[in-house]
Amino acid sequence: MTNLTSPNARRVQEVLDGLGLKQRVQEMEQTTRSAEDAARAVGCEVGQIAKSLVFKGSASQQAILVITSGANRVNEAALAQLIGEPARKADADFVRAKTGYAIGGVPPVGHPHPLAVFIDEDLLPYSCIWAAAGSPTAVFHLTPQELQRITGGRVICVK
């Protein structure tokens, strides 16, 4: 186990270990809260940042996790078509209740309850992507294929 100071980052590392990933969570000195901040911190393109965005189905009240390239915005109308109901970005309380993490640190795995997961197809061409690891200063890298495997996410066009 690495010397992680954030309890949430440690929790994400334990989940990664349990999934058989060898990646290590890294805590940065600077914030990784936004895709731009994370890209600057790790020295990659903004498109390589796997942003975990939580949406709330308006009728079902279900949480939907969209893992999108940091360079993209999610087309909510297209998402509504996929899930069969309108969905809006969730507020901070809903995100924490459904994922166990605060906005800006939501990892793609390690949530208390299963979530519907969609993955932006624009992440697939990269050999290495970076995801949040439980805090606004913690990240880990993986391949898009590993992301698909550990989340069971469906690849979609989010734009």
Taking the C-alpha atoms of residue 69 and residue 50, their distance in angstroms, rounded to an integer, is 5
Q: Answer whether residue 59 is part of any domain.
A: yes
Q: CA separation (Å) from 9 to 34, 73, 101, 156?
A: 17, 26, 10, 28
Q: Answer whether residue 1 is part of any domain.
A: no
Taking the C-alpha atoms of residue 79 and residue 62, their distance in angstroms, rounded to an integer, is 13
Q: Answer whether residue 2 is part of any domain.
A: no
Q: Could you tell me the residue range of the domain that residue 98 belongs to? A: 7-156
- The pLDDT tens digits of the residues spanning 21-48 come to 999 999 999 999 999 999 999 999 999 9
Torsion of CA 142, 143, 144, 146, to 10 degrees: -80
Q: What confidence score (pLDDT) does residue 85 get?
A: 97
Q: Answer whether residue 36 is part of any domain.
A: yes
Q: What is the CATH classification number for the domain harbouring 142?
A: 3.90.960.10
Question: What mean pLDDT is predicted for residues 104-130?
Answer: 97
Q: What confidence score (pLDDT) does residue 2 get?
A: 54
Number of separate domains in the chain: 1
Taking the C-alpha atoms of residue 133 and residue 55, their distance in angstroms, rounded to an integer, is 19
Q: Answer whether residue 138 is part of any domain.
A: yes
Look at the alpha carbons of 154, 37, 88, 16 in this order and tell me if their dihedral is positive or negative: positive
Residue 4 has pLDDT above 50, yes or no: yes
Q: What confidence score (pLDDT) does residue 1 get?
A: 41
SS3 123: helix
Q: How many other C-beta atoms are found inside a 10 Å radius of the C-beta of residue 21?
A: 16
